[in-house]
Amino acid sequence: MWDQFRRLLLGTVVEAMLAEDLQVAFASIQIEFDRNSAFHVPRLDNYMRFSGELRADLLAAPAPAVEARLETRLRAAWPELLAVIDIPIGDRLTADRNVIDVVFERGTPERLRVRFDLAAD
């Protein structure tokens, strides 16, 4: 399941970056889950929590206000995703936590950091 969520998170973030016209060195993208993450078997207990950080190098400085727009776009993605997840027992997942922090770090190279803490039950 971790690989599936890593791919899902990566696709969601890549779509959001493309929508905001962020120029990213795609080979630099890293996703790490921390120890707060948990995934329980959906048929017994629907609880899932994905906590960690995504990092990527930027190829160019982002336009003004992109940080806030990217954060807003990513915050909307978790509830949208939960609404379409099909659990075999007919239960529905609801968002218990939806924390997304987007930070652009100035430097050489400039970096994007997306700290996430997403939980559903």
Residue-by-residue DSSP string for 20-56: TT--B-GGG-EEEE-TT-EE--TTT---EEEEEEEEE
Domain count, the chain: 1
Taking the CB of residue 31, how many other CB atoms lie within 10 A of it? 19
Percent of the chain predicted with pLDDT > 90: 57
Here the CATH number for the domain that contains residue 77 is 3.30.980
At 91 the pLDDT is: 66
Please report, rounded to a whole number, the percentage of residues in the chain having pLDDT higher than 70: 89
Q: What average pLDDT score do residues 41-52 get?
A: 79
- 66 close to 110: Cβ distance less than 8 angstroms: no
Q: Which domain holds residue 25?
A: 2-120
* pTM confidence score: 0.86
DSSP 3-state assignment of 92?
coil
**In the structure, what pLDDT confidence band is assigned to residue 41 with cuts at 50, 70 and 90?**
low
- Identify which has the larger pLDDT, 5 or 32: 32
For 73-118, the pLDDT digits (tens) are: 999 999 988 887 766 655 667 788 999 999 999 888 899 999 999 9
